[in-house]
Amino acid sequence: MEQYIIKGGNPLVGEVEIGGAKNAALGILAAAIMTDDTVVIDNLPDVQDIHALLGAIRGIGAKVEKVGKMAWQINGSGIGSVSVDYEYIKKIRASYYLLGALLGKYKRAEVPLPGGCNIGSRPIDLHLKGFKALGAKTRISHGSIIAEAEHLRGNHIYLDTVSVGATINIMMAASMAEGRTVIENAAKEPHVVDVANFLNSMGANIKGAGTDIIRIRGVERLHATEYSIIPDQIEAGTFMFAAAVTKGDVIVKNVIPKHLEATTAKLVEIGCQVEEFDDAVRVVATKRLTNTNVKTLPYPGYPTDMQPQIGVALALARGTSLVTESIFENRFKYVDELMRMGADIRVEGNTAVIYGTEKLTGARVSAPDLRAGAALVIAGLAAEGITIVDDIVYIQRGYEHFEEKLRSLGAEIERVSTEKEIQKFRLRVS
């Protein structure tokens, strides 16, 4: 098993380039198989979730080929099965996007129940409700979700709660249904808009993505396209908070500042200077951070995927802060690990009371999930001494070249897999 070993105390300084949005890329890759023509997708992030989904798509017969540094070519004309292999996708939540894509194109799909990070209950009932409204019958059999229909017909669908996954899945299936579909209380996240834009570039007729009402007129077929994925707002936000907690000065490049507004607002609130450019943001922290309260909400609110990162910042801030998690009930699993580093936090239900402390100290900690793992790395960068982060496979699911990008900003971090490598690092930095 690989670990990150970190010597904290260095301010992060310099420029870092953000990759493509993982959450957009997963939906777009699934949608790419909905045409028999060749699709080229650029700015795909080099992370494990993406490679797992590419493997699943290849496994059902699609032709998948890398054609550039971050570009992949996909042709779905050779798909011979609508039953997806469990081995490819047991670790990724977004496997369920293949349900909407295959159901839309072939009117049948069989996809294993999804895996991914254990950050709380993420039921698929809204996905199935949407498919049923379009005329599909659904059932769960032998660990897989099976959806099938003779014909898909447009319908009016109201989502009981805002769900990114259900919005994208229903949008894909409805793109090739007969007639008109309206999705109310739709998710408004940037990656929902990106998937809609991608489908439209293939000939779909989707309007209103980015608002809470999406209108779709079904088409008979989709065609070839070339498309570039939006930058990853969560990767960008992670580096912004890394600059904040290390009292650094970092320019985060290849971003859409509009997508970062909730994160930027909180950074300013806790005492950072944030400067926005057309496609970059600069974060400067020169003094100890100050306390604030934050509640996670669907976009454009503060993202749940940025909650552990601000938790680390507030653990080092002056005063007492409240962090309320309204999306996933298991988002606070990083707290016990952070307390091993000297943080003073009490979790009461869905709220963490964070009593700011002057410093964190290095410790051996374990990444409980993707975003929590990244937050613990940030904590290690700010801590006194050596931090070892175990179970970094979670982090590799969603951050490309994480340690290389951090090193380019002056961080002392290495990926290791043996005690000998750990000792070698200790000797080098001592």
CA end-to-end span of the chain: 24
Options 117, 317, 338, 354, the catalytic residue: 117
CA distance 339 to 347: 12
Asked if 14 and 251 count as a contact pair (C-beta separation under 8 A), the reply is yes
117 counts as catalytic: yes
The structure tokens listed for 387 are: 């931090």
CA distance 271 to 266: 9
Asked if 411 and 10 count as a contact pair (C-beta separation under 8 A), the reply is yes
Rg (CA), the chain: 22
Query: Which contiguous run of DSSP H or E holds residue 293?
Result: strand 293-295
Asked if 195 and 27 count as a contact pair (C-beta separation under 8 A), the reply is yes
Asked if 104 and 34 count as a contact pair (C-beta separation under 8 A), the reply is yes
DSSP letter at 10? P
Helix (H, G, I), strand (E, B) or coil at 221: coil
Q: Which of 249, 333, 274, 263 is nearest to 297 (CA)?
A: 263
CA distance 322 to 398: 27
Bridge partners (DSSP) of residue 302 are: 296
CA distance 174 to 34: 12
- By annotation, the residues acting in catalysis are 117
